[in-house]
Chains A and B, each alone.
Chain A
Amino acid sequence: MDRIPILKMGDLLLVTIQVDMHDRLAMTLQDDLTDRIVTARARGVLIDISGLEMVDSFIGRMLANIASMSRVLDAETVVVGMRPAVAITLVELGLTLNGVRTALNVDKGMELLNSLGGHQG
């Protein structure tokens, strides 16, 4: 069964979504990621969706859910690299992902995560 790899970088987790998400894959990612946040004691999660060309309301909600779950586990989530078409689709679907932090690319996302968690040392 295919899974989306979760990479550990220091105390951050890096998820790169390169394939189009289907619902099962999204649910697996949600499970895996919450597990990894706990086992790796991560304080930040960076989700790169620059490879994602299509989203539906389910995937949109899943992103919001992952962000909320990570926050409960004391890890900040940043979604980076969203394509313009995807952003427009999400807005039209009424999913503005209010609780999710966003950044233009991985670089800026890392900067944001580092600035957020800097005080923890």
Chain B
Amino acid sequence: MFLQRFREGMQSGSTDILESREWKSVRDFLQDLSAERAQQGYSPSETATFVFSLKEPLFQRLQSDLGKNPDALGKEVWSATLLLDQLGVYTTEVYQKSREELIIRQQQEMIELSTPVIQLWKGVLALPLIGTLDSNRTQVVMETLLQRIVETGSAIAIIDITGVPTVDTMVAQHLMKTVAAARLMGTECMISGIRPQIAQTMVHLGVALGDVTTKATLAGAFATALHKMRLAITDVKA
């Protein structure tokens, strides 16, 4: 299969493996092979060795054909080496590319998984944040939250930062952005889950959350939300 395509490439006489049209079928084959092997957990050098393993039979063949003409032999061996090296390098490149794609996909999945927006009550959304907030994540958080606000028609959103390890000026700024965007849509935001140490660092750093309502716990924020909606939870026994 590979040899067949390789032969076609050879016959075309073109030596520009990485670009030319004649070598496209060989490139495609190597690309598939390399991507497949990357998934199966082969190392890139093993894949490249597959290509380099062609050298021995090829050189033997050249030796037996041109053995009596050392000048021609040297030239042919050189061009064959160049060719195979290019192919080998190409497999490594493809391998790396497919790994990078995998990493990027996983990163995106992680971002999407880590921003669930849950409905606590009719008109009350909660957004438990876990992990550090950077500008990329803020963007995703903001988009998901606003989208859910539109879908559920919620008037109150609670951003819970229990799972956010540190709140510095950057994180606070991102939080404020999210709050401001939600407010523009007509939804009031509360921030809950501020741990004692975080409250201390925030004050020491001079981080200002403006006039946003903050609560120590999600339960506290939820109670306030119910109060604002003129709802109450009562004890049935009473």
Contacts and interface: CB of A to CB of B under 8 A. Distances in A.
Interface of A: 79-84, 86-88, 90-92, 96-97, 102-105, 108-109
B186 A97 contact: no
Contact of B149 (A80, A90, A96, A104): A104
Contacts of A92: 177
Contacts of A96: 180, 183-184
Given A96-B180, A104-B185, A108-B186, A84 B153 contact: no
B181 interface: yes
A88 B181 contact: yes
A104 B181 contact: no
Given A91-B177, A105-B153, A108-B155, A84 B183 contact: no
B186 A84 contact: no
Contact of A91 (B153, B184, B187): B184
Given A96-B183, A102-B184, A104-B185, A88 B155 contact: no
Given A90-B184, A104-B153, 17 more contacts: A79-B186, A81-B186, A82-B185, A84-B185, A87-B181, A87-B184, A88-B139, A88-B143, A91-B177, A91-B184, A92-B177, A96-B184, A102-B185, A103-B186, A104-B185, A108-B155, A109-B186
Contacts of B139: 88
A96 to B, nearest CB: 4
A108 B150 CA distance: 13
A103 B181 CA distance: 12
A80 B185 CA distance: 7
A84 B143 contact: yes
A6 B86 CA distance: 71
Contacts of B153: 104-105
A108 B153 CA distance: 10
Q: Which of A86, A88, A92 has the most CB of B within 10 A?
A: A88
Contacts of B185: 82, 84, 87, 102, 104
A87 B143 CA distance: 10
A104 B184 contact: no
A49 to B, nearest CB: 10
Contact of B186 (A88, A90, A91, A102): A102
A117 B180 CA distance: 25
B17 interface: no
Interface string B196-223: 0000000000000000000000000000
Given A84-B147, A88-B142, A104 B186 contact: yes
The 5 closest A-B pairs by CB, nearest first: A84-B146, A103-B186, A102-B186, A96-B180, A87-B184
B134 to A, nearest CB: 15
Interface in B68-108: none
A23 to B, nearest CB: 21
A102 B183 contact: yes
Contact of B180 (A91, A105, A109): A91
B177 A82 contact: no
A87 B178 CA distance: 10
